Structure 1
Amino acid sequence: MKGGGVGGGGGGGGKRRWKVLVIGVLVLVILSMLVPLAFLLGLHNSFHSPGIVTVQPSSPFERSRTNATNHSQVLLNFRFIYFDLIRMLVLDLPSSILQRDLSNRVDQVLQKINPVLPKKTDINAGSRDMNRTSISDSKNRGLPVSPAVVAQPSPANKTITEVSHKGGQGAMVNAVETQRTCQVEYGSYCLWREENKEPMKDAKVKHMKDLLFVARAYYPSIAKMPSQSKLTRDMKQNIQEFERILIVSSADADLPPQVDKNFEKMEAVISKAKSFPVDCNNVDKKLRQILDMTEDEASFHMKQSVFLYQLAVHTMPKSLHCLSMRLTVEYFKSGSVDTEDSEKFSDPSLLHFVVISDNILASSVVINSTVLHARESKNFVFHVLTNEQNYFAMKQWFIRNPCKQAAIQVLNIEKLELDNSDVKLSLPAEFRVSFLSGDNLASQGKRTHYLSLFSQSHYLFPKIFHKLKKVVILDHDVVVQRDLSPLWELDMEGKVNGAVKECSVRLGQLKSLKGGSFDANACLWMSGLNVIDLARWRELGVSETYQKFYKQQMSGGGESREAIALQASLLTFQDKVYALDDKWALSGLGYDYYINTQTIKNAATLHYNGNMKPWLELGIPQYKTYWRKHLNRGDRFLSDCNVNP
């Protein structure tokens, strides 16, 4: 009986073990199927280890590290289940207890594999908790509360919100402050700085200078204490060491390898020195020295930046100068033959355009864009007026790069047989006009406009093109986006100059305007796109009127030639300007960052008036594409001279 009992007990234990083994194998099979499914569905991104608060990582490295941690936590749970099965088989524990533990463990893992989304009420509660936390955190720290930040919904719970906002609120406020202080002004160095921001290469050097100033401020007070002779020696030694390093180091790369130890020593002695009472006069003296040096340095850099900015604006880039020289040499080497059709150049029945330019690329873009959008380019004739320096280069460029069926004539204005023996090329004159806007002092802001008007060369057109009756003048900083043929069909009602008017500036706002009677509320007109009735011009003697006003203004003295030319042009064309529709020309692409994209697309011509021309490196990037697409990049001289505007 005993033996049978023992044998029966052994048989019962074997059955229990077999049953548990079968259950364990089934559980492992199920888990082996669920794990790949979970990874395929991307559910592993929601795994969280118990007791750990997770914040959404910002960088790819942090995200991969977080995912790896989550994966390890899941595998750890599976490992616990596996060990439970082994423990159950080896220790021969009661199956009911082990099965209950095993089922609980499996339920925990399955719950993590099937994440439950929070209900709508939970989301709203989490948002409210986040708002309360961010507001209280901002108030405690004395920071302004941004409504845009507070209003953002988030499914995160309160604990996560506290962690994320403590780490991120300062960054949000800093971003707001940066936008507030980085105002867009004319010259736009602020935006250029943001777009071309580079990491600091002398951060440690500047920190060393700051520590050196602090040490020097505390040193006289510590040196007067007989009981602190050791601290005095240490401070003096550290000051001399810093001075020695800074003499030969202007960037972090120049610093010696052991500089971190120097930082630690200096910070230690400064911290110890701050524990003693010091003479405030020494600290005040050193701080005033820092202030004076900073002001001097800021003034120097401001003057330097203004000078370099003006130099970049008024100087031809090296690549464009190279292009002009290479084309001039090529013109004489190739023995280019003049194939200009003189009959077309004087035929009044054709559509004539005049461009004044000393820039090969600029004049090329103007002509290319005009011809591209023309219905019949064979009726288009272009007259390019340039100076003697660029004359042969300009001719060679258009010989190498013809524009469909349009005829192009290049004229050297310095060699034309006119009454004035000494004629120089003068481009359309641009004037910067700034004045305050706003009713009260608090709301007043500075408004700046660049006015582009005729130069003295424009008043020679009736004599240069004595056989023509009507021309369209295009500035060389213009891009054409529509067919300009309808301009010849305009009835200008006896006016001389068809132009787009600039009513944001009135004649009365130009306080220096003197001589003659004028309407103070009259709008100013802009060059860029101008329809000129040469027959009416000659009839009214516009050139003679301009010369008269110019001489009157010159006799007064006290003003520059540019200001006098501006006043003479405005007085000359009073009541002689026919207002074109605003869609014919859009100005401001050389200084205004906030022109609407749709407005640009609707304009017939784009005028890059202002200092930031599209062929310069400091041109406004979002407007450069409209200019670049009309540039013939196939010419080998562009690559030879590294021309890449």
Structure 2
Amino acid sequence: MKGSSYTLPAKRRWKGLVIAVLGLVFLSMLVPLACLLGLHNGLLSASGYTNEQHSSTSDDIRVYDHHDGNNRRNQSEDKSTKVDDLLHRFRPTLPKDFQSGSFEEAEPENKTSGFPVIVNVPKQLPRENSTTTGKVEVAKEIKGVDDSEKSCEMKFGSYCLWRREHREKMKDALVKKMKDLLYVARAYFPSIAKLAAHDKLSREMKQNIQEFERILSEATTDKDLPPQIEKKLRKMEDVIARAKSFPVDCNNVDKKLRQIVDLTEDEASFHMKQSAFLYQLAVQTMPKGLHCLLMRLTVEYFKSPSLDMDESLAEKYLNPALHHYVIFSSNLLASSVVINSTVMHAEESGNQVFHVLTDGQNYFAMKLWFFRNTYREATVQVLNIEDLNLKDHDNATPLHLSLPEEFRVSFGNDKPSMSRRTEYISVFSNSHYLLPKVFPTLNKVVVLDDDVVIQRDLSTLWSLNMKEKVIGAMQSCAVKLGLLTNYLGEKSLDGNSCVWMSGLNVVDLVRWRERDLTKTFRRLVQERLSTGKVLSEAVTLRASFLTFQGLVHALDDAWVLSGLGHDYGLDVNAIKKAAVLHFNGNMKPWLELGIPKYRGYWKKFLNLENQFLSDCNINP
């Protein structure tokens, strides 16, 4: 019994060892078998190449064959889809653009071109205009990157202008030469790999290609290249020269070159879209310093004692005999520059009253800022539009701040000799139509956008004869209403009328109330909504043009110079002569992406010695 009790476990251990050894032997046989079945070839192809000794046709070259080209292209399309999804998520915060077609408004499922967000593009694939009357051009679906800067601007807006101005010329000749050689070697490699008599050349070419890929993955300039790079270049040139000396099927080389070109175009298109999206995101995101400033001022407001308002100031707010300026803004620095530049050029600032309408998020910071900072003898009132108790307003619909709407309009022509152009316009938002109710005691106000800089005394605007008109505004005759009739949906519009722009607007509130234009605006909006449209910037644009049709007094062209937020080619003398500089466009002066040569006109009205600005490292 004792013997059997010790013998059985020993036999079990021996059997376990035998099974383990047999398992190892079986696995060791699987490795070479897998290589013989092509698994090894698949692993090599994952890194970019196949074992040329197992390649019998060009279809076996996985990285460069038609099937793999489709896989790579599908990967690129997947990336583009992800970027388009991000665009859809961020769509409400990005700039508004519109281009003609059927002019459907704000279709949320539109993903025609991806960048920037196009508000009014039809769901179906757009078609080109067949006329030559200069109508707004339809955006084509992007299949690749168009070399034309004008076409690029029509698709991507001011991003293309910014890219052109900040493009760096490639000075690294060796890196460029390496890329060119790598491009050619990849095209010849599949054909050489099929020549069984030249295995040595095939292996040598593959080694050179892999080495070039490794170097270029780590180096972008000549100074990043490893030593003896000249020797490596000569080796690659020699290999390519020998490959060209052998008779190969030119159709195969042509096929591979075309596949590589297609893949390169797909990658370039994806990166173009990605760059444009990041640009749009950057221009729509609050700078870190400004966010810091708002937070610090808000905290300081609640730590400070109550800000008692002088009774005399309350009387000024309601006195119609004074010069009242209205600014709709959520940007503290921008509002401060507008006010500072206005009072600095005023012959008499004691009769100036500024009303800054903002939202609840920025109200306390602005309240403290304008309480502690003085602007000569001018008076500044900060109002939270969300707390206003207006008569005849539906209390069930809370008020919210909406800033002037900006649109990019692209024009084209079928004639090749006619150049394409892109114009930028800005119009009133929904908040502007509250003016008569917010200021019931005032007869006239001047509305200033927060992206303007004043360079001349504005007091003459108060004696302006507007000839029974309701608003005085700059008109942009580069865009006429006749070109937008399909979009506006009105045949009764005067096609020769120029669009008017916000920025600097003189508003006669008496005539506004007599004509009840606020009611007219709301009726026009409601008419559009009743047809199934959603409330959008497009609906606001149409309603604004129709509300003030025939009621706009054109200001002299010397008053306002627009385009400092998107046009790099403005004349310096014209800038100096203009009374008002309007930074309309994406490249605002308080952003790092702002146009550098114009930023100084805005920056000089900013007090950079302020302690809060220093603490938040604000230095535009």
TM-score, normalisation: structure 2: 0.69
How many angstroms apart in 2 are the aligned matches of 1:539 and 1:388? 32
Partner of 2:515: 540
How many angstroms apart in 2 are the aligned matches of 1:244 and 1:608? 46
- Give the conservation status (yes or no) of the 8 Å contact 2:608–2:618: no
Partner of 2:399: 423
Deviations 1:463-482 (A, max 9, x none): 11111111111111111111
How many angstroms apart in 2 are the aligned matches of 1:447 and 1:209? 36
Partner of 1:503: 477
- Out of 403, 410, 428, the residue aligned to residue 454 of structure 1 is 428
- Residue range with higher mean Cα deviation, 246-255 or 288-297: 246-255
- Give the conservation status (yes or no) of the 8 Å contact 1:222–1:232: yes
What is the 5 A alignment of 1:270-419? 270-335=240-305, 337-340=307-310, 341-418=313-390, 419=393
Given the alignment of the two structures, is residue 443 of structure 1 paired with residue 417 of structure 2, yes or no? yes
Query: Which ranges in structure 2 are unaligned for 5 or more consecutive residues?
Result: 1-146
Partner of 2:52: none
- Give the conservation status (yes or no) of the 8 Å contact 2:407–2:425: yes
Equivalent AA in structure 1 for residue 360 of structure 2: E
Query: Which ranges in structure 1 are unaligned for 5 or more consecutive residues?
Result: 1-179
Shift in CA distance, 265/477, structure 1 to aligned 2, threshold 3 Å = same
Cα displacement (A) at 1:529 = 1.1
Greater gyration radius: 1
Identity %: 63
Question: Which protein has greater RCO, CA pairs closer than 8 Å, 6+ apart?
Answer: 2
How many angstroms apart in 1 are the aligned matches of 2:493 and 2:211? 72
- Give the conservation status (yes or no) of the 8 Å contact 1:515–1:553: no
How many angstroms apart in 2 are the aligned matches of 1:586 and 1:611? 16
How many angstroms apart in 2 are the aligned matches of 1:249 and 1:595? 39
CA RMSD of aligned residues (A): 2.7
Number of positions where the alignment pairs a residue of Structure 1 with one of Structure 2: 464
How many angstroms apart in 2 are the aligned matches of 1:247 and 1:586? 47
How many angstroms apart in 1 are the aligned matches of 2:453 and 2:316? 24
- Residue range with higher mean Cα deviation, 211-220 or 491-500: 211-220
What is the 5 A alignment of 1:222-233? 222-223=192-193, 228-233=198-203
Q: More helix per residue: 1 or 2? A: 1
Cα displacement (A) at 1:308 = 1.6
Shift in CA distance, 564/457, structure 1 to aligned 2, threshold 3 Å = same
Equivalent AA in structure 2 for residue 588 of structure 1: G
- Give the conservation status (yes or no) of the 8 Å contact 2:159–2:280: no
Equivalent AA in structure 1 for residue 532 of structure 2: G
How many angstroms apart in 2 are the aligned matches of 1:249 and 1:301? 19
Shift in CA distance, 235/489, structure 1 to aligned 2, threshold 3 Å = closer
Cα displacement (A) at 1:548 = 0.8
- Out of 426, 436, 444, the residue aligned to residue 470 of structure 1 is 444
Equivalent AA in structure 1 for residue 583 of structure 2: Y
Shift in CA distance, 276/585, structure 1 to aligned 2, threshold 3 Å = same
Partner of 1:585: 560
Shift in CA distance, 618/288, structure 1 to aligned 2, threshold 3 Å = same
How many angstroms apart in 2 are the aligned matches of 1:629 and 1:243? 50
What is the 5 A alignment of 1:563-602? 563-602=538-577
Shift in CA distance, 431/227, structure 1 to aligned 2, threshold 3 Å = closer
How many angstroms apart in 1 are the aligned matches of 2:473 and 2:200? 81
Deviations 1:427-452 (A, max 9, x none): 11112222236xx6022222222221
Cα displacement (A) at 1:541 = 0.6
How many angstroms apart in 1 are the aligned matches of 2:487 and 2:164? 37
- Residue range with higher mean Cα deviation, 632-641 or 250-259: 250-259
Equivalent AA in structure 1 for residue 376 of structure 2: K
Shift in CA distance, 481/576, structure 1 to aligned 2, threshold 3 Å = same
How many angstroms apart in 1 are the aligned matches of 2:607 and 2:475? 32
Cα displacement (A) at 1:344 = 0.9
Cα displacement (A) at 1:195 = 4.8
Cα displacement (A) at 1:230 = 4.2
How many angstroms apart in 2 are the aligned matches of 1:544 and 1:623? 40
How many angstroms apart in 1 are the aligned matches of 2:539 and 2:457? 36
Cα displacement (A) at 1:250 = 6.9
